[in-house]
Structure 1
Amino acid sequence: MFIAPDQIINNFDIRPGQVVADFGSGSGHYVMAAARKMNGDGVVYAIDIQKNLLESVKSAAEKNHLGNVEIIWADVEGKEGVKLASGSVDLVIISNLLFQLTDKEAAAKEAHRVLKDGGKAAVIDWTKMMTGGGVVFPKQEAEKLFLQQGFAEEKEFEAGDNHYGIIFKK
């Protein structure tokens, strides 16, 4: 079963006025869902290293009249690579990204750095690849990674047949 980002974000307690950062935003499905959920009040940062994907997100936000979407070209694996102030974000979304990263620890550290005290990181990643040939980043490894960076596991949530979902709290 596939669960759409619009449904999955109901697990994230997104409220108007918050600051949300989508690390590795890709084509922006979670960016758009979060921006709609906030009703234009607050900001959602689409952060990716691929400029062409960020251009697509920007176009989609404009087309859908979502003025609370901001684009940041950045490398989540770099030290302070996200270009956001420390302690400035309420929620970091990390969806279908960990399995792609070389330095997963750097990305988790960067999430911890930008989050406010009490802020949350929502991690969604593959349990198995749809194509069958890809490498996944197991849920147990994600838990270990985020706990080592000073997060506490808050809850797991349903993310579909091929994904796991975990919310960590700073």
Structure 2
Amino acid sequence: MHGNKFDPKKLQRLNDPDRLKDIPPDIIHGKLNLDKAEVLVEIGAGTAFFSKVFLETFAAGTVYACDMSEIMIRWMEAHVVPKHPDIVPVKSTESFIPLDDSLADLVFMINLHHELEDPARMLEEAHRLLKSGGKIFIVDWLKKEMAEGPPVKIRWLSRDVKAQLIQAGFDNVRDDNGMAKHFLVVGEKGCCTR
């Protein structure tokens, strides 16, 4: 990959259990106010590390683990699917996820937003994928200097991501900067939105 994209040669970093300390799934789950999520879609799933975690957290039936990288898709097929048949790798593009409209209860992106060339387009795509009342959450690096993560210049402020979600048609959008290295932004697809 090039530019702002994650280098698939470093994919083992994505499987580091310490990521769960930086991005605690139970805290995210608590902020979602979502009792049940049968179908999940992770955009930018990488090695499906968080797909596996949230499959268990929500006792979901299916997680569509979407990624642009053919290397990541093949890795998931070889290393994840045999143990987790409810995780379905899906080859996506920068602005299109080949799944049906109104399919998901929850769409999520973790440490992807800063890589997107056209975040607005991907958020519209996430909106399309969600059922009425479905939720989205985005976790990404705080826009501040730290030893880890991408260059600060390509990071987003949570308030800007919040504004992008509202522009894409999401309701009840809120942000949370309670994690040490990351922000969380949550939104909902209203019952009567486009």
Q: What's the TM-score bracket when you normalise by the shorter of the two chains?
A: 0.7 to 0.9
Determine the structure 1 residue equivalent to 2:99. 84
**Match 1:44 to one of 59, 63, 66:** 63
* Matches of 2:53 and 2:35, distance apart in 1: 10
| 1:8, distance to aligned residue in structure 2 (A) | 4.5
* Matches of 1:152 and 1:106, distance apart in 2: 17
The structure-2 alpha-carbon separation of the partners of 1:24 and 1:132, relative to structure 1 and needing over 3 Å to count, comes to: closer
* CA deviation map 1:13-56 (0-9, x unaligned): 3636x1100011112221111222344x5100000000111222
Equivalent residues, number: 164
Determine the structure 2 residue equivalent to 1:109. 124
Is this contact kept in 1: 2:158–2:175, CA < 8 A?
Answer: no
Determine the structure 2 residue equivalent to 1:69. 87
The 3-state SS of whatever aligns with 2:26 is helix
Determine the structure 1 residue equivalent to 2:46. 26
Determine the structure 1 residue equivalent to 2:114. 99
One-letter amino acid of the structure 1 residue matched with residue 87 of structure 2:
V
Is this contact kept in 1: 2:173–2:187, CA < 8 A?
Answer: yes
| 1:159, distance to aligned residue in structure 2 (A) | 6.0
List gaps (5 residues or longer) in structure 1: none
Is this contact kept in 1: 2:81–2:88, CA < 8 A?
Answer: no
Higher RCO, 1 or 2 (CA under 8 Å, sep at least 6)? Answer: 1
The 3-state SS of whatever aligns with 1:36 is helix
| TM-score when normalising by structure 1 | 0.84
Of 87-96 and 159-168, the range deviating more from structure 2? 159-168
The 3-state SS of whatever aligns with 1:161 is coil
| 1:166, distance to aligned residue in structure 2 (A) | 1.5
* Matches of 2:101 and 2:110, distance apart in 1: 21
- Percent identity (aligned): 23
* CA deviation map 1:46-84 (0-9, x unaligned): 000001112222333245x2221001001141xxx2111
The structure-2 alpha-carbon separation of the partners of 1:144 and 1:50, relative to structure 1 and needing over 3 Å to count, comes to: same
